[in-house]
């Protein structure tokens, strides 16, 4: 659709009634327009009118998601220099770099809502914004790289595929690219663990020990139970979320059991069993006290993760300053030169004069 048609459609949509020749679009009409778009499962774009509360909760969730991607680089980054082969190192490097890219897509989506990367990062470092609890657990062995790929990225896929259809355009489109890369992340993790399961007894024990450590924190990634989730109902109404926390957690459990059987590992939950009547696996209740304690900053690695992020942010300040200075300089150089010639006369720009002088 050409730009002119877009503008025409936009104007038609917004024109509600004329009074004294001035286009009047009342708040009620705007709200109706927004509600119709959500109802039609269409996209809200950055230039569209949106309720302030919609914008705020989107910034909250997209920022948390972006922070999670960036902080999530730390646990696995811990093993890049100690990967057991060049092949494993190359795979891990690629994956960690992908996470950085995911963070950038998401910070860019947040910027379309008026929240700058600088502002969001400062809020993260000040503890005013969250990131996923899962990244506050340590990676104690290289096996954890495989477990994170299989379970953590697997959980992320369960949570992110529905987000491809979220009502806010830039967020949903970012998710499409992210999910394509996440499927590589999950496969490389599963393949790493399968290789170890075909190795020695000691390697098999390392895999089972790693899975035991990450299973419950992976279930907690989906957020608190629905009846303890203050944001879910509204986010579902606005089409930001299309499934509840418990629905996605159940989907992840159902998906993971057959994979664990193929791998030859078990999960640390004696209540895990197929419930024919429900058509799902039953599982025990995660330790929500642990979850909230980690969310509130008391996890094994919270301080380390934020300190590392702050150090990188501080050490990178000069790069941001240099990039901004260069951008300003380039903008000045590109600005039309102020010539001394009278209006209508074609004067040469100082740059040309300089060049001519320089010749």
d(CA 269, CA 120): 38
Residue 159 makes contact with ligand 3HC by CB under 6 A: yes
Q: Rounded to whole angstroms, how far apart are CA atoms 99 and 70? A: 6
Q: How far is the CB of 121 from ligand 3HC (least distance, A)?
A: 16
Binder among 44, 50, 96, 152 for ligand 3HC (CB under 6 A): 152
Q: Is 108 in the site for ligand 3HC (CB under 6 A)?
A: no
Residue from 170, 172, 189, 224 touching ligand 3HC (CB under 6 A): that is 224
Residue among 205, 204, 308, 186 nearest 259 (CA): 186
Applying CB under 6 A, among 146, 189, 223, 286 the residue interacting with ligand 3HC is: 223
Burial class (CB in 10 A: 0-12, 13-18, 19+), 259: middle
The token pair that represents 235 in the structure block: 């986010």
Residue from the set 13, 29, 64, 266 that interacts with ligand 3HC by CB under 6 A = 64
Distance CA 189, CA 313 (A): 29
130 binds ligand 3HC, rule: CB under 6 A: yes
Q: Find out whether 263 and 194 touch, Cβ atoms under 8 Å.
A: yes
Site string for ligand 3HC, 276-315 (x = CB under 6 A): -------------------x--------------------
Which region among 48-56, 82-90, 221-229, 268-276 touches ligand 3HC (by CB under 6 A)? 221-229
Which range in 25-33, 37-45, 78-86, 152-160 contacts ligand 3HC by CB under 6 A? 152-160
Residue for token digits 């949903």? 172
Interaction between residue 13 and ligand 3HC (CB under 6 A): no
Q: Cα–Cα distances in Å, from 231 out to 61, 161, 162?
A: 10, 19, 17
CA distance 87 to 83: 9
Task: Catalog residues that contact ligand 3HC under the rule CB under 6 A.
Answer: 60-61, 64-65, 68-69, 72, 99, 130, 132-133, 152-153, 156, 159, 182, 220-224, 229-232, 235, 245, 295
């Amino acid at each position: 659709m050409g730009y002119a048609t877009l503008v025409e459609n936009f104007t038609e949509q917004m024109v509600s009634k004329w009074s004294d020749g001035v286009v009047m679009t009342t708040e009620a009409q705007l709200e109706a327009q927004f509600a119709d778009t959500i109802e039609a499962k269409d996209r809200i774009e950055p230039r569209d009118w949106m309720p302030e509360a919609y914008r705020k909760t989107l910034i909250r969730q997209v920022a948390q998601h972006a922070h999670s991607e960036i902080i999530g680089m730390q646990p696995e980054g811990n093993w890049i220099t100690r990967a057991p082969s060049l092949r494993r190192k190359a795979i891990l490097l690629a994956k960690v770099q992908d996470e950085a890219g995911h963070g950038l897509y998401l910070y860019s989506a947040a910027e379309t809502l008026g929240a700058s990367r600088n502002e969001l990062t400062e809020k993260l470092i000040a503890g005013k914004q969250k990131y996923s609890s899962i990244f506050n657990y340590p990676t104690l062995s290289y096996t954890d790289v495989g477990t994170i790929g299989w379970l953590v990225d697997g959980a992320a896929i369960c949570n992110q595929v529905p987000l491809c259809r979220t009502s806010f355009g830039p967020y949903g489109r970012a998710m499409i690219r992210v999910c394509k890369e996440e499927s590589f992340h999950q496969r490389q993790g599963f393949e790493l663990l399968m290789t170890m399961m075909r190795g020695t007894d000691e390697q098999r024990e390392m895999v089972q020990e790693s899975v035991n450590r990450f299973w419950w924190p992976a279930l907690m990634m989906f957020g608190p139970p629905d009846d303890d989730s203050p944001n879910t109902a509204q986010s579902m109404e606005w089409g930001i979320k299309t499934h509840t926390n418990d629905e996605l957690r159940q989907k992840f459990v159902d998906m993971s059991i057959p994979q664990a059987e193929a791998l030859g590992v078990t999960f640390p939950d004696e209540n895990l069993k197929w419930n024919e009547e429900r058509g799902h696996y039953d599982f025990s209740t995660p330790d929500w006290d642990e979850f909230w304690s980690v969310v509130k900053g008391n996890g094994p690695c919270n301080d380390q993760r934020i300190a590392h992020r702050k150090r990188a942010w501080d050490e990178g300040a000069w790069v941001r300053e240099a990039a901004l200075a260069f951008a300003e300089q380039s903008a000045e150089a590109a600005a039309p030169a102020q010539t001394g010639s009278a209006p209508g006369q074609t004067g040469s720009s100082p740059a040309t004069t300089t060049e001519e002088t320089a010749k």
